[in-house]
Every structure is written in C-alpha cells, then in structure tokens.
Amino acid sequence: MKEKVNIVWFKRDLRIHDNAPLHEAARVGLPIIPLYVVEPDYWRQPFASRRHWNFIHDCLIELLTDCTNLGQPLIVRVGNIVETLNTFNTSHSIKGVYAHEESGNGWTYCRDRKVIEWCKNQSVPLYEYPSNGVVRHLASRDDWSKIRSSRMARPLIVKPQRLVPVTSISLGDIPSKDDPIFGSFVYGITQKGGRRAAIRTLKTFFDERSKNYIYHLSAPGKSEKYCSRLSPHLTWGTLSVREVYQSSKNHRKYFTDEDSKTWKRNLAAFGSRLSWRCHFVQKIEDQPSIEFRCMHPAFEDIRKNEHNEKYYQAWKKGLTGYPFIDACMRNLIYEGWITFRMRAMLMSFASYHLWLDWRKTGHHLAQLFTDYEPGIHYSQLQMQSGVTGINTLRIYNPIKQSQEHDKTGGFIKRWLPELRNVSSAWVHEPSKMNLPMQRKTQCVIGTNYPEPIVNQIQAAKSARAKIEASREIQGYKEKAKNIHKKLGSRKRPHKKKKRASTVTSQLLLNLR
C-alpha cells in the first residue's frame, strides 16, 4: 500500500515561520513532503537571472536545515511541477497539496493553473492560503485596505513542532549557483539570502539604521545603508510582510524620550511603504495583463516600431553620456540594488528621453534587481513610462537629479572612474568642458566618455507632447476612470503638510 502524504509546495515563501501551508499540513499529522521545484523553463524567461538564483540558493540551504531540524528535510526536484506531482503520486498517495497563493507574472500564473487542473483531475485537494496583504477574488478595491489591515493584525503563525517524515524518498540536490540552468554569469555581487540574514537585516534596521531612513531614502550611496534592504527577503519570502509589519509596530512602542520622535516618524514612514508594497502587488493579482499590456489602451502602440537599439545598449551599459544616469546603472549592474528614486529615474530616462518601450527595458531591469517582484515591477515600469492613464506624468531631469543627489560628484566618480579627475563644477555635465579642460582631466568627450546620447530638454519635450496627444483620444478619460476604479489607490491625500505628502507620493512606491 502506498504511503499517504501531504505536499507543502514552497514558492516565494522560503521560511518555516508564519507559513500557513506548512502549519496546516503539519496539523493533519500525515508524513509531509516539503517540496521545492526548480523549473528550468522559468529560468529561460527574459525576466529571470542567475542573480535571483544566487539569492534563492542561500534561502534553500537554510530552509533545508530548518526542515531537517523539524524532522523531514526539504525535498528538491528539477523539472516540471506537474510532472513532479505525477511522479510522487505514482510512488505515494497524495492526500493534499498545500501552498501559498502567488501573485507573480504570467508564467507562474499559467503554471499554477496547470497545477489546479492536475489536482482536480487526480481528485487531490489543493489548499491555497493568502500571501501577505494580497486578496484573491477581491470584489472591490474599496474593501482592500480594511482586509489587508485585518490580516496584518492577526497573530503570527507559529512554526510546526515537528514534520512527520516520509519513510522512503530521495532528497534531491539543490543545484549549484553556477549551474547553467540559471543563465549567464552575473557581474558583481548579490545580497546575502536566507532567513538568518533576513533577521540580521531586520534587527540592524530597527535598532540602528532606521533613525535616518527618510533623510537618506532618495540619494544613492547613503541609501544603501539607511534603506531597510529587506525587499529581496520579502520578495522571496524569508520574511512575511506581517512579520515585518508587526516588528515595526512593536518597535515603535519602545521609544519614549524626546529623541524618539524622529525614530518613530521614520518607522511610521517605513510602515506606510509596507502597505504600498501590498497595494502594488494587488494590482497584478487583479489584472495580470499589466505585465504585457499598457494599463490604458491609448498607449499600447505609442512606441511601436520606434525601438532604437543603439540607445538601448547605451542605457543598459551605462554609456549614455549623462553621468548620473550612467553611475546609477553601473551601480545597479554591480550590486543588484539601488534606491527607488534612482530606479524611477533610470526608467523615466529610458522611456521618455530615449523613447524605449517599457517591456523591453523592463526585462533588463528585472534581471538586475535581486528583489524582482512582478506586481511592483510592472506597475512601476508603466508609471514611469506614462502609460497607466491614472498617474501624473513625471519626467526626471537627469542633470537636476544629479546636482540634487550627488552635489560633489562623489557617487558619479565612484562608478565612472573615467570622470575621476573632473571637478564638481563639471562632473554633472562634462561635455560642457572645453577641449583643453577635457585633455587636462583625461576625460575627452567622445573618447574617454561618450557625448550625451540625446538633448535631454528636446527629448523630454517631444515625449511629453506624444503622451499628451494620446490623452486627447476620444474615450480616454472614461477608460482612465475605470482603471482607477479597479487598480487605483483609495488612500486620501493629506490636506496639511503638502510638501511632505508630495515627497511621500514620489517615494513610497516600493520597499527598499
């Protein structure tokens, strides 16, 4: 007689804490197969990269240890999830599959639909549990905030005391970080993954770094230290949003002295970004097509047949002739992370000044971001490209951003060594130096560093005109209203402190 088992399918929830599928499966008392499937077809998609796997690999090594300590090691398979389930169903009697609902991209959506169909055909119950603050089958966006707040307030789910082991099963191997399945070599570093690294990062943020969170949130350099750096841990699930939300809320209670006001204000701002994170993931849950199609159909073909490969290659390599743009891109290429403001600027420059389609540039950025989160990623790509129909058109001036966020040019020189001898007076626009000055600083434009790829003022003006022309199409406003009704925020703007509110609206769109 085949052994009866339950399968817990890990996806973007690589932890044993606050994990409803694991907890509920363990409660049943049957032997458990804690399963992670490496799906080669996923890793062939244009958004996937070895950098993601480097982080996931760290997570799986620790998850293997954690599951082993509970009595049943993690089981790893390489292949198709449906074929994997079929194999297990041949050797064992599967009584249930337990998993979190995943609000991912189109590939994972189709994959999950196939699993649902398989379970139905095999009469195997599939138990799916909500993930973080995302609400499946949401009746109205008006209800979302209340439901999300209720979920965040619920007690954390304790880890199981024990997993009943399966008597006869091979564990399988976690593929190495350099396995060819995961694509080409990644230049640079990857933030350390795993539950223990997540807890350390959480602790140092709350105990030390969060005090200056708001003040260093935008500029590159200091943001690497003072931003939370929790985003990849939330993306791949070594922490749940609820864990972080409750930790932040509880931490604020400890402060009582006068100096604590600043700390509390920073942690409150961080808490609001946690909420906005869920808000954006909810968008792709409600409308998965935003990965592929503009939210507002008026913009669907606005950049069609206008791709400039020369522009695209210059942008992705950090060779546009705009030092701050190039420094941010090279920083991102090497570290796999950069603060939200700079992400928005890179995307804005590509979409407006270079008039590149967000779907093309978005794949490149997805591969670079260690914290690639589809729900946030595609919404942000569309927002910074002006194609949502519900967001204010914002075209970043790369020179102004450079002067505001890197006054002395220290960040630029760190990532663009060809500009190391250029003074702060010229580092933001080295092409304006005369030829003798260029030779003196060993930064001859066109030789050591490229000329500006476009005239940023003219390019921005042209892009704005094209976007505004599309807004004049008949029926535009009615469609925009429908988009807002389905996907827009219900958060009411504050009447006081307008400046702070404006800054917040620009920055809280992702958790970094």
Q: Where are the domains of the chain?
A: 3-129, 186-289, 290-507
Q: Do domains 3-129 and 290-507 have the same CATH topology?
A: no
DSSP state of 322: -
Per-residue pLDDT tens digits of the chain, which is 512 residues long: 899 999 999 999 999 999 999 999 999 999 999 999 999 999 999 999 999 999 999 999 999 999 999 999 999 999 999 999 999 999 999 999 999 999 999 999 999 999 999 999 999 999 999 998 999 999 999 999 999 999 999 999 999 999 999 998 999 999 999 999 999 999 999 999 999 999 999 999 998 898 889 888 888 988 989 999 999 999 999 999 999 999 998 887 666 666 677 888 888 899 999 999 999 999 999 999 999 999 999 999 999 999 999 999 999 999 999 999 999 999 999 999 999 999 999 999 999 999 999 999 999 999 999 999 999 999 999 999 999 999 989 999 999 999 999 999 999 999 999 999 999 999 999 999 999 999 999 999 999 999 999 999 999 999 999 999 999 999 999 999 999 999 998 765 544 444 333 333 333 333 55
Q: Are 344 and 384 in contact (CB under 8 A)?
A: yes
Q: In 3-state terms, what secondary structure has residue 6?
A: strand
Q: Which CATH class is domain 3-129?
A: alpha beta
pTM score > 0.85 for this model? Answer: yes
Pairwise CA distance, residues 131 & 98, whole Å: 13
How far is the CA of 292 from the CAs of 233, 354, 470, in angstroms?
26, 20, 19
Pairwise CA distance, residues 270 & 279, whole Å: 14
Helix 260-286 vs helix 241-252: angle between axes, to the nearest 10 degrees? 160
* Architecture label for domain 290-507: Orthogonal Bundle (1.10)
Q: Where are the beta strands (DSSP E) in 234-365?
A: none
Check whether domain 186-289 has CATH 3.30.70.20, yes or no:
no
* Helix or strand holding residue 203 (H, E): helix 195-207
The tokens for 245 are: 């939300």
The pLDDT, as a whole number, for residue 297 is 96
Amino acid at 319: L
Backbone angles phi, psi at 371, to 5 degrees: -100, 35
Contacts of 58 (CB under 8 A, 6+ apart): 192, 193, 194, 197
The residue count for the chain: 512
Q: Are 63 and 163 in contact (CB under 8 A)?
A: no
Give 66-109 as a 3 state SS string. Answer: HHHHHCCCCEEEECCHHHHHHHHHHHEEEEEEEEECCCCCHHHH
Q: Largest alpha-carbon pair distance within the chain?
A: 86
Backbone angles phi, psi at 246, to 5 degrees: -70, -35
Radius of gyration of the chain (CA): 24
The pLDDT, as a whole number, for residue 212 is 86
Which residues sit opposite 4 in a β-bridge? 93
The tokens for 278 are: 């869920």
